[in-house]
Amino acid sequence: MPEIKNLSYIQAVNHALRWSLETVPNTVVFGEDVAVPGGPFGATKNLHRDFGVDRVFDLPISETAFLGMALGSAMTGLRPIAEIMYSDFLFVAMDQVVNQIANIRYTSNGKWGAPLVIRTQQGSSPGACAQHSKSIEAYLAHTPGLRVVCPTTPMEAYQAIRTAVVSDDPVFVVESRMLYPQKGEVQLDAELWPMGGARVVRPGADATIVAWSRTMTAALEAGEQLAARGVDAEVVDLRWIAPLDVETVADSVAKTGRLVIAHDAPGTGGFGGELAARVGERCFGRLRAPIARVTGIDAPLPAAPALQDVALPSADRIAGAVLETMSA
Amino acid sequence: MSELEELYRRMLVIRRFEEELAEVKKLGEVPGSIHLCIGQEAIPVGVSALLLPDDYVTATYRGHGWAIERGSDLAGLFGEIMGRASSVAGGRAASPYLSDASVGFIGENSIVGAGVPIALGAALSCDRLGGGRVSVVSIGDGAMNQGNVHEALNMAAVLALPLVVVVENNGYSEMVRIEDMVRVTNLAERGAAYGIPAETVDGNDPVVVARAAAVAIERARTGGGPSIIEARTQRLVGHYSGDAQHYRPAGEVAAAREVEPLVRARAALLEAGRDAAELDAIAAGVDREIQDALAAARLLPLPDPTTVMEHVYA
């Protein structure tokens, strides 16, 4: 009998970390407020109690130092899992990410490696200021050497972390704070999933919607709205930003002839632009309408909910974009 | 061979390697810039004398001496810096960013101070995986003003990790005087702010450096946590190859040449009864070693362009 539990996203994260500490030798978990407090969102609840201070420990508010520590310890035998509390805080430590962690395997000609995991969570929420609301995947995608995953369901989160922990590459697991309370079935004894791969969540024939992270919720809701209007949209969860599974998206677009890409991050320089280019290269002859993007505004994110409502992609806006591609 | 004689020979290896490198650079065989540690050799030599093969060393872009002391292959180092398919890093790193996992050399770093958090990670492994190993990191005086160093020093103290931080104070934060960039007389005074034992020593005497390193390394190996050693020295050459050093007062370098580590070590050896011919023979032996390594490096092929995408990922 498979061991299936109904867990919230954040509980699934906690289970994945527990599995890592139990199963993968030399894993350590560190960050701000992760040990005694159990994590600001509960991701590391009880891990300090059960695995001890040598393996699960709190650190000063020094992201640069502890991401550097993650790298140095990964190079020398540990498998660190570091937590960056809000993805916005990563920027104080970007030297260690971009100039150090991402480089070392290449610049050492493969003699060093950086088998580490950096967990963080991203996205806006009501009242969140512009320093607690960024969606950062494009910044990471622009740096060769990193792996990046944006899980959207409890099972995805559980598997993404486990895949990341056994990988010999540095992996960013970019979780979604808004999705943390959402529940779903998690098979705790499932086989590990391979790294990479998009997933068709809602099959359809008329148009393709690709999203990831929090925006998947709006994309799926848009799919339902469109169905009610007789438009059969296929919704694809991109899941992994790196490695990127263009095939699954291109296969879908080859079928539907229409593509709408939705993400919370600003449109300019956003990952949707890269994806549009890649799909365009492969599917130019099959496209029946220009590729459309529905993204966060090109502005720092406002805190007031009344402003946030128009700052981020909604199901209405995504559905509207699909209908426009239908009339093109 | 006496202790000082061996330290003298090892300093000569670094000196001759870099002097030869400067010549090779003039011949156009080195792409990019190089940062030489000429004048500072007593520090990597004095500290490394106390290190074991399983320990880790992290350095800066002025780190050729540390790589050599770790035991990195001399021909490989020449070849790496010359952009060849070297055993060190296959031509992917060059002079200012080379590393060598085969000898526990975490590597140089061209981002000032960034090696300290990484060395902290190596110290975490030493602590958690056992064996009484230590992580040594060398930085310059200028790096003491970087936030990454501040963060890492505090964290090393908080976690009581086996980290030895060696500050090679050569008086210049790149091209400005360090005394104009800080308001403490000795950088070791900063140690008190972190609760880390710190001392300032004569960085031009490898025996003095080794004595300080012995204390710090023993402290680290026995669970006593991190230490800071500020080693006072002087750069005899520019910040980088081609640096005209117009910012240095007239006569400063000439005066520094009177008290540089090789001059002092040779004088001390002569005073201790060695004769000049013996010391010249040591130098000749080192010279042959360097020439052989350079000749071998020149025979290394250039990196294969078809491999340019290898090792981005595992």
- Domains of chain B (ranges; CATH) run 3-298 (3.40.50.970)
**CA separation for the pair A75, A96 (Å, rounded):** 14
The answer to whether domain A4-187 and domain A199-327 are alike in fold is: yes
Length of chain A: 328
CATH 3.40.50.920 correct for A199-327: yes
> Taking CA atoms, what residue in B is nearest to A59?
B155
CB contact under 8 A, A68 and B120: yes
Q: How many CA atoms lie within 13 A of B141 on its CB side?
A: 31
> What six digits make up the tokens of B276?
């000049």
pLDDT higher than 90, residue A105: yes
> How far is the C-alpha of B266 from the C-alpha of A101, rounded, in Å?
43
Q: How many Cβ pairs within 8 Å bridge chains A and B? A: 154
- From the candidates A15, A48, A132, A263, which is the catalytic residue? A132
Instruction: Check CB contact under 8 Å for B311 and A62.
Output: no
Domain boundaries of chain A, sorted by first residue:
4-187, 199-327
As to burial, measured by CB atoms within 10 angstroms (0-12 exposed, 13-18 middle, 19+ buried), residue A151 is buried
Which chain A residue is nearest to residue B313, measuring alpha carbons? A145
What CATH number is given for A4-187 in this structure? 3.40.50.970
pLDDT of residue A157 exceeding 80, the answer is yes
Residues of A in contact with B312 (CB under 8 A): 105-106, 144-145
Hey, are the CB atoms on A107 and B117 less than 8 Å from each other?
no
Interface touch A64/B107, C-beta < 8 Å: no
As a whole number, the mean pLDDT across chain A is 98
Verdict on whether the full-model pTM lies above 0.90: yes
C-alpha distances in Å from residue A176, one per residue of A77, A156, A235, B265, B283 = 30, 12, 19, 62, 63
Q: Is B309 on the interface with A (CB under 8 A)?
A: no
> Which pLDDT band, with edges at 50, 70 and 90, does A132 fall under?
very high
For residue A132, indicate whether it is catalytic. Answer: yes
pLDDT 10s digits, B246-303: 999 999 999 999 999 999 999 999 999 999 999 999 999 999 999 999 999 999 999 9
Is residue A41 a contact partner of residue A10, using CB atoms and an 8 Å limit? Answer: yes
B100 touches A at CB < 8 Å:
yes
ipTM, two decimals, is 0.97
Residue B1: pLDDT over 60: no
Q: Which helix (H) or strand (E) holds B201?
A: strand B198-202
Average pLDDT over residues B182-200: 97
| pLDDT surpassing 70 at residue B156 | yes
Nearest in space to A82 (alpha carbons), one of A108, A50, A58, A54: A58
Contacts B121 to A, Cβ<8 Å: 68-76, 78, 80
A145 has pLDDT over 90: yes
* B1 vs A236: CA distance, rounded Å: 72
Residues of chain B neighbouring A145 (CB-CB closer than 8 A): 312-313
Q: What is the mean pLDDT of residues B157-180?
A: 97
- How many Å separate Cα B197 from the centre of its chain? 21
In angstroms, rounded to a whole number, what is the distance separating the alpha carbons of residues A68 and B147?
12
